[in-house]
Amino acid sequence: MTAVSPVVKPVSQMRLAPGSTVNIQDISWEEFESILQELGEKRSLRVAYSKSTLEIMVPLPEHEKSKDLISDIVKILLKIAGKSYEPFGSTTFKRENIAGVEPDACFYIQNYQRMIGRRKLEPNDPPPDLAIETDVTSKTTLDAYEAIAVPELWIYDSKKLRIYLLRDGHYIESDKLNHI
C-alpha cells in the first residue's frame, strides 16, 4: 500500500478563470483567517465562509456591471430620501468562528456617522445596514449573512431583485425596502 501525502500549496497560487467557483469543506476559522491574510485585500476574487465551508468565487464582467448599476440605484434612492450613507464596497465582514462574507457592495445608513473615514473595520463595528449580492456565477446562501446579522440583503439573480429583511435572526423575503 502506498502512503499518500497531502499536497500543500498556498491558496494565492490558485488560478481561477472568471466565473469559477471553488468550495473547500472542513476549513477551520483559523485556516479561513490565514487564507484571507494570504490573499490580501487587493484581489478580484470574493470569499464566503459558513459552516466550515469556504467558497472562493471569481466574478464575471456582467457581475460587476449589475453590482454597479444596483449600487447606483441605491445611492439615488438614498439621495431622494435625504439619507446620508457610507459605502463600504466588498469589505470582509466576520463573526468569529462562525461566518465571513464579502458582499458585492454594502452601505452603512443608520450607522454611517460611526463609519465615516474608516479604513478598516474594528471588532465591535456593526454590520452594514444593507448588503448587495449579484448572483451570476454562484448563489448567495443566507446563512453567513444571518450570522453576521446584516439587517437588509438585496440579491439580484436572473434579472430579478429579491429583498430580504432580517427578523428574529432569519431572513424573510419582502416587497418593501427597509433602509431606504
Residue 140 pLDDT level (bands cut at 50, 70, 90): confident
Q: What is the mean pLDDT of the chain?
A: 87
Listing DSSP states for 28-93 in one string gives: -HHHHHHHHHHH-SS-S-EEEEETTEEEEE---HHHHHHHHHHHHHHHHHHHHHT---EE-TT--E
pLDDT, tens digit (0-9, with 9 covering 90-100), for 21-51:
888 899 999 999 999 988 887 677 888 899 8
DSSP class of residue 168?
Answer: T
Q: Is 122 left (phi over 0), alpha (psi -120 to 50) or beta?
A: beta
Would you state the pLDDT for residue 65? 84
Residue 123 pLDDT level (bands cut at 50, 70, 90): confident
pLDDT of residue 149 exceeding 70, the answer is yes
pLDDT of residue 11 exceeding 80, the answer is no
